[in-house]
Amino acid sequence: MTAASIRARVRAEMTEGIKAAARRQLAADGADLSLRAIARELGMVSSAIYRYFASRDELLTALIVDAYNALGTAAERAEAEVARDDLLGRWLATCHAVRDWALANPHEYALIYGSPVPGYRAPEDTIPPASRVPVLISGILRDGYAAGRLPAESGEPLPESLRPELTTVAEQIGAEVPPALMARGMTAWLQLFGAVSFELFGQLNNVIEDRAAFFAYQMRAVARVVGLPD
C-alpha cells in the first residue's frame, strides 16, 4: 500500500518536474521546446522522459491543460472578489485577469490561443479546462438575466438559423441564458481574446502604446454592447 503509493508519488513528482522544466524553458527560450534540453536540465537522458510522456505531443497536451487551468483559476479568483451584483465589475475583473495572466505567461498563452502546432490535434480532455473562462462569462450573463438587468434581445437581431445552436451552447455550459444574449456574450469573448492576442502577438506594435488604457476602453465598449449596466 505505502510502497505503491510511494512509487506513485515519486512518479507524480517526476512528471511535475518535467512539466516545470518544460515551462521554464518555454518562458525562457520560446515556443519550440526540446525534450533533450529538458532532460539535460533535469540531469537525465532524453529517452528517460518517454517513461513519463509517450511523446512530445503528450507533454504539450499536458502543458496546454495546465495553462488553461492556470488561466481559468486566475480569472475565477479575480471575478470572485467582486460583489455579485456588480456585473460590469465582474466582467472587467475577468478581462484584466486574463490580460494580466497572458502578459505574465506569454508563451503559455501562445500555446493555447496561438496557431495550433503543426502536427498537433487537441484531444477531448482539453475541452473542460478551455471552457472555464467562457463558463465564467456565461455566469455573469446568467445572473444579469435572472435579475432582469440584462435584456434578452438587444442591438443586432440574431438570425433565426443561429438560435438553436446558441441555445445548445447555453445548455452545454449549464447557464440559463437566452440565445441572443449568449450571442452577445460571444461577441465579448471574441473581443477579449482578440484584444489580448493582438497585443501579445505584436499586431499593436507601432500602433498603440498605452495598451492598458486601450484594453480597458475596448472591454468597456463591448460591455456596453452586451448590455451590462454600469
Site for DNA, rule CB under 7 A = 3-4, 6-7, 10-11, 14, 33-37, 43-48, 50-52, 54-57
User: Which of the listed partners (its own copies, DNA, none) does 45 bind, with a CB threshold of 5 to 8 Å by partner kind?
Assistant: DNA
User: Which of the listed partners (its own copies, DNA, none) does 230 bind, with a CB threshold of 5 to 8 Å by partner kind?
Assistant: none
Q: Is 214 in the site for its own copies (CB under 8 A)?
A: yes
How would you class 54 by CB atoms within 10 Å of its CB: exposed for 0-12, middle for 13-18, buried for 19 or more? exposed
Binding to its own copies by CB under 8 A, coded x per residue (else -) over 26-65, reads: ---xxxx---------------------------------
User: CA–CA separation, 76 vs 165, rounded Å?
Assistant: 26
User: Which of the listed partners (DNA, its own copies, none) does 6 bind, with a CB threshold of 5 to 8 Å by partner kind?
Assistant: DNA
Nearest partner of 164 among 140, 187, 144, 180, judged by Cα: 180
Q: Which residue lies nearer to DNA by CB, 37 or 216?
A: 37
Enter the C-alpha cell of residue 103.
Answer: 502578459
Element (H, E) at 12: helix 2-29
Q: At what angle do helices 132-146 and 179-200 cross, to 10 degrees?
A: 140
User: CA–CA separation, 109 vs 102, rounded Å?
Assistant: 5
Place of cell 455573469: 140
User: Which of the listed partners (its own copies, DNA, none) does 213 bind, with a CB threshold of 5 to 8 Å by partner kind?
Assistant: its own copies
User: CA–CA separation, 85 vs 230, rounded Å?
Assistant: 11
Contact range with its own copies by CB under 8 A, out of 12-20, 91-99, 139-147, 156-164:
156-164
The footprint of its own copies (CB under 8 A) covers 29-32, 110-111, 113-119, 122, 127, 130, 155-156, 158-159, 161-162, 165, 169, 183-184, 186-187, 190-191, 193-195, 197-198, 201-203, 205-210, 213-214, 216-218, 220-222, 224-225
